[in-house]
Structures are given as C-alpha cells and as structure tokens.
Amino acid sequence: MLTHRNTLWPAVLLHSLLAAGFLMGWWGAWPLIASLAMHLALLAWGSATPSAGFFIGHATHVMDGSVALTYDDGPWPEHTPALLDLLKREDVKATFFCIGQRVDRAPGIARRIVDEGHAIGVHTQHHSWRWGFMRERRALREIELCARAIERATGLKPSLMRPPFGVTSPATARAMKASGLIPVAWDLRTFDTRGTDPQRLSARVLPRLKDASIVLMHDHAPGAAALSAAIISEAKKIGRKLVRLEPSMLRSVICFLLTPIAWSCAAQSGAVPVPISADDPIVLRLREQARPDARVLAEFSQEKRIKGLSQPILSEGRFAFEAPDRLRWEVFAPEALTAVASGGRVRMMERGAERPATVRERQIFLGIQRLVGSMLTGKAYGEGGMPVSFFREGRELLVELRPDQAALKSKVERIQLRFPIETLSLGEMRMLRPNGDATITRFKGAKHDAALPEGTFTLP
C-alpha cells in the first residue's frame, strides 16, 4: 500500500542521488526532472484520492454490505428541505457532511437533519479552496469550528468528517488525526454537480450501485433530489439496504494511520475508535469506581516491541498495588525479577538476591506506580497530569493520556488504557514512544479491594 510515509524517504534518496550525479557531470538534468515530476504526480494523486489513504486512512466501505447516501456542502435552505422531504417519504436515512458557516446560517435545517434520524458530519467551517494548502493549526481550527457549529445547532458532537473536495495533505492529515474524527471517503462518486440532466446522471450512476457502498452527492446539486430518488428506487429493486453512516459500521481499505500500534485496523477488527465526552455515562461509571484507598492484585502478560527487533520480548507476571504509592511488580518469565516501589524508592530482587535499581529501572517502575495509582484513584481522569481523551471502540472504553511537558514528550508519545465496558476493569495498557517502541501489558484476574498478603511490599 502506497502511503506518504513509506514513499517519502526513498523518493528523497533518489532525488539526492540524481542531483549528485547531475552536479558531478555523470548525466544531464532530465533524470532528476523526471524523478521530481513523478514524485509530484504521486503526491497530487494521493492528495486528490482520499480512498487511497495516502496521507491518512479514510473509511471507504460500510461493513454489512449496505449502501449509504452521503451529501456534502449543506445545509442549503433552497435545496436541503426538499431532499429531506424525499428521504422522509421513502423512509431512508442518509448522512450529511455540513459546512459550519452554513449550519450557523440555517441551524433549523441542521436540527431537522438530526431530528429525522440522519447522521451529520463535519465538512469544515468555510470549505475553503485553500484547504489543501493550510497549515495544521489553521486546518484543525476549521474542523473544530464546524464541529462546534453542529453541536450548537443539534446538541450532538459529530464523530465523522469529510475534507473539502476530498483533498488531504501532510498538514491537513495531521489536523484530521488531531481532531479525533473519523475521515470518510466514498467508493461511488456521482459527479452530480457537473450535470443537470437527471436521466443522464442516473444512466451513469445506477449500473455501478450494485458494487457501491458509500455514495457521494451534494444536496445543492441541481439534480440531487431526482438522482437520489432513482438511487433509492434501484437500491430497493436490487435488495440493497440504505443506511446512515455509523462509526461502528465503517471500515477502511487500510488501517487508520493514527499511530503504528495504538489503533486497531478497522478492516481487521471491525471497531473504530469513536470520541466520547468526559461526562459520557461510561466515563462517569469509571470515575465512580475509583477510590483513594484502592488496592488491587492482577496477573499480566507483556510485549515489548522494540525497533530493530523482528520479534517482541515477552514476559509474564503479576502485580499488587495499594494507594497511595505502593507497588509490587513481579516477573515470572522469561527470568524471575521483582521490583517494589514505595515512597519514591525502588528496590530490586533478581536471582534470589537484592541488588541496586538502575536509573532506568527507577524511571520505569516509579512511572508504572504513578500511572496505576492515578488510574485506580481517579486522578488520571480528572484535572492535572497528562491531558486525557476518551473513546468508545466496539465493546471497550479507550482512555488515552498524552504528555504535555517537553521532557516527558521526548520519552512517551502516549499511554492508552483499555477497559471492557461491561466490567470496566483494566484490560490493557499501552505505552507508545516517539521512536516507535511500544510496551503492551494485558491484565487478567484482577481482584479489587482484596486483602493483600502480609509482606507484599517487602523483600527478603
């Protein structure tokens, strides 16, 4: 799969070699010009083809084989109500990717979209032709302003977005990633804004409907209503279910390119992380079970994925924690090792004998102590510390912590905690580092508020 990440440095190396050869007189300028031209063509293709996932993965299919009608650029008082009337008569739900300033001008139509059961998503605040050339901060503001406009008008926080013109660039891709919204592309583009003859549009679009999943239209296009009626009729005739887009039903041809390990590939797992607010009922349940006198016992298995190693380093063990700051981390395999952290000190035992803790070991185990402690006592979900975000991913709650201090950012990119929604007991902890290394710890058999064995936090 071609992506910006895996083609950039090979292209730079090729350009450099050709430039060096030109400067040394080994060949003329044409090889370098051809190389640059092909790279520019690749970037242009990736920018204008969202389904390719060149800069960031986009959802391109509905997982259950249904068809989703999607409309961009609204709401338009002159066109959108008639389209909504049609959808209501046909009892069809659709998805509208709205421009924020148009939502501000026609909030009643935006409310009607939601009230009548349709999905609504972000299409940026101004739909500027400069979108593909915007810096990350400006692009993120365009996304956030639109999301706020939608929330003001409808009371709902959108979870989906579609970039203007379907265009992405390295900067706008970073902004889309930072927004936490799910980028949505299409696999059937009707080009309804280029034609006004409904019959010709239908003749071109309907034969492709049997293989389509997400259909791109515009609610202001002259033939949008007629084309929509034809698509609805054809879909019912061939037995295709028409649905609105939901995060849980989307999948991409590639993994969402958010982090190399942090996010599951939607095509493999069928689950897409959906941002939720800090006052969501699931998050409130998690907060309520945190206690300032928390105690826990649990077993764990751990993978350390280190750049340059073809296989992860595996270990198994168990740990005990007692608030506010006592931790015992005991590894059984591949070699026995015990660490006890308390009061800012770390003691180590290996091969049956105590030894001094290294600087690295103190950092690791005091870091685990603080993280587990803040999680069990609720500090990780409140004010202070690392900024926290919440996501629902299938049947799991995902809590993501990102450092905001430069010293910590150089060591940890983000920390993720996963909880099964049924029990909200910690299931997994991932620590991702800027260099691509990751430590994945999976917990099982956790016992909360259990009586800890005497001497748990002492060493022989």
Return the CATH number at 87: 3.20.20.370
Say yes or no to pLDDT of 249 above 80.
no
**320 contacts 372 by C-beta, under 8 angstroms:** no
69 and 203 share one domain: yes
pLDDT band at 382 (very low <50, low <70, confident <90, very high): low
What angle is formed at CA 38 by the lines to CA 35 and CA 41, rounded to 5 degrees? 150
* Residue 403 and residue 312 in one domain: yes
Cis peptide before 334 (omega within 30 of 0): yes
∠ CA 406-408-409, rounded to 5°: 60
**Crossing angle between the packed helical segments 4-23 and 30-48, to the nearest 10 degrees:** 160
- Same domain as 380, residue 242: no
Q: Report which of residues 148 and 396 the model is more confident about.
A: 148
Distance between CA atoms of residues 283 and 93, nearest Å = 29
Residues forming the active site: 72, 218
The encoded tokens of residue 423 equal: 């029990």
Q: Does 387 score more than 70 pLDDT?
A: yes
Domain hosting residue 13, numbered range: 4-48
Q: Provide the mean pLDDT of the chain.
A: 85
Which of 252, 272, 292 represents a domain boundary (last residue)?
272
Let me know whether 106 and 204 are in one domain. yes
Q: Is the residue at 454 inside a domain?
A: no
Residue 453 lies in a domain: no
**Range with lowest mean pLDDT among 173-177, 228-232, 252-256, 344-348:** 252-256
Q: Give domain status of residue 244, yes or no.
A: yes
pLDDT at position 265: 40
3-state secondary structure the chain: CCCHHHHHHHHHHHHHHHHHHHHCCCCCCHHHHHHHHHHHHHHHHHHHCHHHCCCCCCEEEECCCCEEEEEEEECCCCCHHHHHHHHHHHCCCCEEEECHHHHHHCHHHHHHHHHCCCEEEECCCCCCCCHHHCCHHHHHHHHHHHHHHHHHHHCCCCCEECCHHHCCCHHHHHHHHHHCCEEECCCEECCCCCCCCHHHHHHHHHHHHHHCCEEEEECCCCCHHHHHHHHHHHHHHCCCCEECCCHHHEEECCCCECECCCCCCHHHHCCCCEEECCCCHHHHHHHHHCCCCCEEEEEEEEEEECCCCCCCEEEEEEEEEECCCEEEEEEEECCCEEEEEECCEEEEEECCEEECCCHHHHHHHHHHHHHHHHHHHCHHHCCCCCCEEEEEECCEEEEEECCCCHHHHCCCCEEEEEEECCCCCCCEEEEECCCCCEEEEEEEEEEECCCCCCCCCCCC
More confident residue, 229 or 262: 229
**191 lies in some domain:** yes
pLDDT of res. 383: 47
Q: pLDDT > 70: what percent of the chain?
A: 91
pLDDT digits (tens, 9 = 90+) for 402-419: 877 777 777 788 888 888
Assessment of whether the complete model's pTM goes beyond 0.75? no
- List the single range of 123-132, 142-151, 376-385 with lowest mean pLDDT: 376-385
pLDDT at 223: 86
Query: Do residues 185 and 232 both lie within one domain?
Result: yes
Q: Is the pLDDT of residue 209 over 50?
A: yes
Instruction: State the CATH number of the domain containing residue 280.
Output: 2.50.20.10
Q: Is the peptide bond before 75 cis (omega within 30 degrees of 0)?
A: yes
Q: Identify whether residues 417 and 331 lie together within a single domain.
A: yes
Higher-pLDDT residue of 43 and 206 is 206
Radius of gyration of the chain (CA): 26
Q: Do 374 and 241 sit in the same domain of this protein?
A: no
317-338 average pLDDT score: 90
User: Which pLDDT score is estimated for 124?
Assistant: 97
Residue 288: per-residue pLDDT: 84
Same domain, yes or no: 308 and 342: yes
Is 457 part of a structural domain of the chain?
no
Provide the number of structural domains found in the chain. 3
**Claim to verify: residue 248 and residue 380 sit in the same structural domain:** no
- Alpha carbons 69 and 190: distance in angstroms, whole number: 11
- Supply the angle between the helices 80-90 and 224-237 in degrees, to the nearest 10: 20
- The mean pLDDT of 273-294, rounded to a whole number, is 83
* pLDDT higher than 80, residue 389: yes
Indicate whether 122 pLDDT > 90: yes
Verify that 247 and 280 share a domain, yes or no: no
Per-residue pLDDT at 257: 38
Q: pLDDT tens digits, residue range 339-376?
A: 999 989 999 999 889 999 999 889 888 888 888 888 78
Is 290 contained in some domain? Answer: yes
pLDDT recorded at residue 153: 94
Residue 243 has pLDDT above 80, yes or no: yes
The answer as to whether 459 is a domain residue is: no
At residue 434, what is the residue type? P
Does 264 map to a domain?
A: yes
* 151 or 44, which is more confident: 151
152 and 251 share one domain: yes
- How far apart are the C-alpha atoms of 406 and 397, rounded to whole Å? 28
pLDDT at residue 270, rounded to an integer:
41
- Answer whether the bond into residue 324 is a cis peptide, omega within 30°: yes
Please tell me the predicted confidence (pLDDT) of residue 293. Answer: 85
Q: Are 308 and 314 in contact (CB under 8 A)?
A: no
The pLDDT of 309-326, averaged and rounded, is 86
CB 217 within 8 Å of CB 228: yes
By the 10 Å C-beta count (0-12 exposed, 13-18 middle, 19+ buried), 234 is classed as middle
Whether residue 319 sits in one domain with residue 184: no
